[in-house]
Structure 1
Amino acid sequence: MNILVIGNGFDLAHGLPTRYQEFLEFMANYDWHIIRGSNTPIIVLDKDNYDKLYKDYFINLSPELKTEYTQLIENNSWLEHFIIRLRENLRNKVNWIDFEAEIADVIQEMDNIRKKLLNNEEITNDKKTESIETDYEIIKKISQPLKYGLSLNGNSYSLQRVSTIKNELIKDLNKLIRCLELYLTDYIDYYIDHFMDHNKDTKIEPFKSTRFDHVLNFNYTNTYIKLYAPHLSGKFENGFCNYIHGRAKKENKIEDCDLVLGIGEYLKGDEKNNDNEYIEFKKFYQRIYKGTGSAYTRWLNKELIDYNEHDPEKRIHTYIYGHSLATTDADIIANLIRKSDKTTIYYYRKSDLHDIILNLVKIIGEEELIKRTSAENQSIIFNPNP
């Protein structure tokens, strides 16, 4: 049985602008042009094609979609934070941003502030405050309303203000995720129609020549189904493809959106089970809460499938393409590797292979990685992208 695991590198290999920085460029300039009325772009990744990529799309948006975009983007604290970070990166000649890492930094800073308050014996109720320094403007700018038109802001924190900040960050993250869903459906469809060569065969190896029994999709898009298995679209799609981080659908409302965008577990020991203050930001919680499913675990259950370790056709061979094997997905990756008889991992550049090996050490441990890559017992194979 062949299982294909795909990450964002799969969509990028097929020419789609699905990087976080491309989505952020789109959002930032919608905010700047449509909401604020400025003619000067705030973020430009592709100077030669900027107007072509966005101008006509913004102009021709339906009133309904323009209203929804505006409600999702306007005064969104995460958008403002990501813009600041990406502009800092661009000044340092780094044209990318990692949303998940940025979210993790902010949430752990919030948790540190909360724990300082809890450890202060003088903080006995929500009215007591403590001055705590932080460099994160996204935290400092969210204030806690008080009586008589006053508010608690800056570096002055109470437990009530920390709770208010958390709730605002959850609300704005959900708006950001819904905006991402619209970008990956409506705008990406527009991009495909207007900028991609429809006479060119965009299919690539190993997907053209290998028959896959299942696809574990870490992307929000259905690019694989569209290109390689259109006959499975619809009622057969769910059994074939597990959208482990949700599937983007334009027709959704914000409350229906099931896209997962969050962080890995950062707590240790008993604290991991006993302290759930920021659980809403964690990927494992979002997958459960949003019901993205764990169908892939059935594919790996050797008691439920036609498995025979002596028959190559009935052994489990997992192919991983376009996924960095980041530790935020460690639980899923470890399960796949340990249940598979063979795992082939594709990489784009040698530097990517370096990062993949580092991540695998964190996920399955150094000894297990050495054992699985040794010539005698090799079950993990690294191949450059075809």
Structure 2
Amino acid sequence: MNILIVGNGFDLSHYLPTKYDHFMVAMDAIENWDESQGDMRFDDLFGKDYWHKNDKTGEEWQNSFFQHTKAMYKTDEIKISVDQVKELKAQLKENVWYQYFSDHVREVKTWIDFENKIEDALDSVSELFQQISDYYLGHDVLSCEVSPINFKKQKFFGEVISLSERVCQLLCLLNLIHKKKDNIKKGDYSFDDDNSNFFTYFIVNENVKKFTNYDVYDQNKALERLNDELASFIEIFNKYIILIDIMELDVKFCKLPILIDKVYSFNYTNTFGRFYDLTDSQFLHGKSGLTQNIVLGISDLKNEYLKKLKAYGFTKYHQKIFKNTNYKFLYENLAKINEIIENIEFWSNSTIADTWKNSEQISSDQHTIHLLRNELKEIKGCIYIWGHSLDISDENYIKEIFSVNFEKHKNFEIVIYSFSQQAYFDHLCNLLHILGKEKVELWMKKGWLKFEKNPDIAEINGIKPVDLPKIIAKAS
């Protein structure tokens, strides 16, 4: 049995624009689209990323990725109607998570960075909640003003809600606090300075329940709204992935240089099934579509305060169970392997220990062992990993992959495809961090673990890059 495990790099190897950067470029284009220009096309979505320029030398070059995309797919058939553009514009404007990611776009380059930014945001939310709780220890009514540290007031425990300027700005994007420009006084007059970089921050009243002579800040309500906003962001992302998943080939792909019986996908697209006619694919993080069950969140909830609030809806493991994705992964294979090995050992030991058995009984035992070993061979094979970062965020999956072999039994060889020398370097670092050097070195010595370069899809299919048009942005 040959198993293929694919991550985002598998789609990128097929020149499908599924990187975080690709998504944000497309969403920015939608946000700024002049609706009087009509429907949006593929070039309108990604044209901003077609050409790059060296600011010092003025030298321009084409984006090789999209040169291949345009050569492989019928991109001219991709269209987003004006009505769809209007709907997406409204959703993007209203969604606090998108506004947060858009504001931090330079800090987020990969989907791993994306997860880290969610965790960073949740830590800031926790900091606000804890300070509010501390404030209530000495007050019945919440002071809605939030004081940036080192600006207005020195922070005293429980006497004033004081957060760093960075955290304040972040919480504004999540709509947990809001800001207004500070008044500037000159003589007897005060006025608003639109150019001022100094703000006064206030807690949003939406999450404050008012009672006679006291109030209560509803932390669970605030978290529930952030969960709902994340679900809405996933819906926006799903619309984008659907657009990519319906891109039709303009060429016919050759078969891959490896034979695959089963695919486990960390992607939301059905790339392997569409291009290589294999239906036995399991989607570990859900699948895009009209009935999407996409998993998009953090690997674990590390913040103790948020654990007390049971904020597990932001974690991938909660979403996987809740959305009924294939979270079992290799469990069935491992369980079957263990069962067969235990049976082989049982019958082998029984044959040796029970000296009273006659030749006919021993022959029957040996036949049983022979059948079990043949059954084990059917499960044995190779696990190919293509386009997965092997990052700590999927630590549990990685440990499960590397539990398929035992000291006396090699069941699977593992081949990891790396896009570049740097990717190979990063893969090895991640494995050493998760598994430890002893296990990695042992598997390398035994020949159970190998690193190879990605199969070149363009080369395999004889596809040459095409020239890209220069797109003039049509901003609204």
Please give the TM-score of this superposition, normalised by the length of structure 1.
Answer: 0.75
Answer whether contact 2:301 2:312 (CA < 8 A) is retained. Answer: no
Q: Which residue of 2 aligns with 1:150?
A: none
Runs of 5+ unmatched residues, structure 2: 52-61, 145-160, 179-199, 209-215, 342-371, 406-411, 456-476
| Paired position in structure 1 for 2:283 | 243
Determine the structure 2 residue equivalent to 1:75. 94
Cα RMSD, aligned residues only: 3.9
Measured in 1, the distance between the counterparts of 2:140 and 2:115 equals 33
Aligned residue in 2 for 1:212? 260
1:100 maps onto 2:115 in alignment:
yes
Is the Cα contact below 8 Å between 2:17 and 2:244 reproduced in 1?
no
CA contact (8 A) 1:6 1:217 kept: yes
CA drift at 1:248: 0.6
Q: Which letter does structure 1 place at the counterpart of 2:385?
A: I
Q: Tell me how far apart the structure 2 counterparts of residues 272 and 14 of structure 1 sit (CA, whole Å).
A: 43
CA contact (8 A) 1:144 1:161 kept: no
Residue 442 of structure 2 is aligned to residue 371 of structure 1 = yes
Aligned AA (1:84): D
Task: Judge conservation of contact 2:301–2:315 (CA < 8 Å) in 1.
Answer: no
Cα drift, residue 346 of structure 1: 0.9
1:26 aligned to 2:41?
no
**Shift in alpha-carbon separation, 1:365–1:155, aligned structure 2, 3 A:** farther
Structure 2: how far apart are the matches of 1:211 and 1:285? 34
Aligned twin of 2:150: none
Per-residue deviation, 1:266: 4.8
Aligned residue number for residue 380 of structure 1: 449
Q: Distance in 1 between matches of 2:17 and 2:391?
A: 20
Asked if structure 2 preserves the Cα contact closer than 8 Å seen for 1:78 and 1:138, the reply is no
Aligned-residue offset at 1:44: 3.2
Match for residue 261 of structure 1 among 280, 287, 296: 296
1:133 aligns with 2:173: no
Within-5 A mapping of 1:118-267:
118=133, 122=137, 127=142, 130-136=161-167, 137-141=169-173, 142-143=175-176, 154=201, 160=217, 163-189=220-246, 192-193=247-248, 198-199=250-251, 201-203=252-254, 208-229=256-277, 232=279, 240-249=280-289, 251-252=290-291, 257-267=292-302
Question: Per-residue CA shift, 1:151-175, capped at 9, x if unaligned?
Answer: xx83658872655543333222211
**Aligned equivalent of 1:347:** 418
Residue 264 of structure 1 aligns to a residue in which SS?
coil
Q: CA deviation at 1:246?
A: 0.6
Q: Distance in 2 between matches of 1:247 and 1:170?
A: 19
- Counterparts of 1:133 and 1:43 in 2: how far apart (Å)? 38
Whether the 8 Å CA contact 1:45–1:95 is kept in 2: the answer is no
Residue 45 of structure 1 and its aligned partner are, at CA, apart by 2.5
Residue 58 to residue 336, structure 1, CA distance change in 2 (3 Å): closer
Structure 1 pair 22–274 and aligned structure 2 pair: CA distance change class (3 A): closer
The answer to whether the 8 A contact 2:176-2:203 is kept is: no
Distance 1:104-1:144 versus aligned 2 partners, 3 A rule: closer
2:104 partner SS? helix
Rounded Cα–Cα distance in structure 2 between residues aligned with 1:344 and 1:24: 32
Give the direction of change, closer, same or farther, for the CA distance of 1:172–1:378 in structure 2 (3 Å limit).
Answer: same
Q: CA deviation at 1:344?
A: 1.2
* Structure 2: distance between partners of 1:337 and 1:367: 13
Partners in 2 of 1:3 and 1:286 — Cα distance? 25
**Cross-structure match for 2:50:** 46
Greater relative contact order, per chain length (Cα 8 Å cut-off, separation 6+): 2
Rate the CA distance shift 1:314–1:43 in 2: closer, same or farther, 3 A.
closer
User: 1:117-145 CA deviation, whole Å, 9 max, x = no partner?
Assistant: 44567367683662222514341241469
Judge conservation of contact 1:134–1:155 (CA < 8 Å) in 2.
Answer: no
Q: Deviations over 1:160-206 (max 9, x none)?
A: 265554333322221111111111113552xx34xx5x13x4446xx
- Check the 8 A contact 1:321/1:347 in 2, yes or no: yes
Higher strand share: 2
- Number of aligned residue pairs: 345
Alpha-carbon distance in structure 2 between the residues aligned to 1:212 and 1:58 = 30
Please tell me the residue identity of whatever aligns with 1:13. Answer: S
Matched letter for residue 119 of structure 2 = A
| CA 1:5–1:95: 2 relative to 1, 3 Å | closer
User: Who is 1:359 aligned against?
Assistant: 430
Q: Is the 8 A contact 2:3 2:264 kept in 1?
A: yes
Call closer, same or farther: CA 1:166–1:56 in 2, change over 3 Å. Answer: farther
CA distance in 2, matches of 1:11, 1:104: 26
SS at match of 2:48: coil
Change (3 A) 1:339 1:160: farther
Post-superposition Cα deviations, 1:74-127, rounded to whole Å, max 9, x if no partner, equal: 3222222222222x35xxxx9667321221211122223334444567367683
Query: Which secondary structure does the structure 2 equivalent of 1:370 belong to?
Result: helix
Label 1:116 to 1:58 Cα distance change in 2 as closer, same or farther (>3 A): farther
CA distance in 2, matches of 1:36, 1:347: 45
Give SS of 1:221's match.
Answer: coil
Percentage of pairs with the same residue: 23
- Whole-Å Cα distance in 1 between the matches of residues 435 and 418 of structure 2? 19
Alpha-carbon displacement from aligned partner over 1:282-308 (angstroms, at most 9, x marks no partner)? 111111111112343223322588786
Indicate conservation of the 8 Å contact 1:342/1:379, yes or no.
Answer: yes
2:11 is matched with: 11
Aligned partner of residue 44 in structure 1, secondary structure: helix
Which amino acid in structure 2 is aligned with residue 101 of structure 1? N
Alignment check: 8 A CA contact 1:144 1:160 kept: no
- In structure 1, list runs of 5 or more residues that go unmatched: 146-152, 233-239
Matches of 1:156 and 1:71 in 2, distance apart? 25
- Mapped to 2, the partners of 1:36 and 1:281 lie a distance apart of 39
After superposition, what is the alpha-carbon deviation per residue over 1:256-292, rounded to whole angstroms, capped at 9, x for unaligned? x310111112528xx5995353311111111111111
User: How has the CA–CA distance of structure 1 residues 258 and 71 changed in structure 2, closer, same or farther, with 3 Å as cutoff?
Assistant: farther
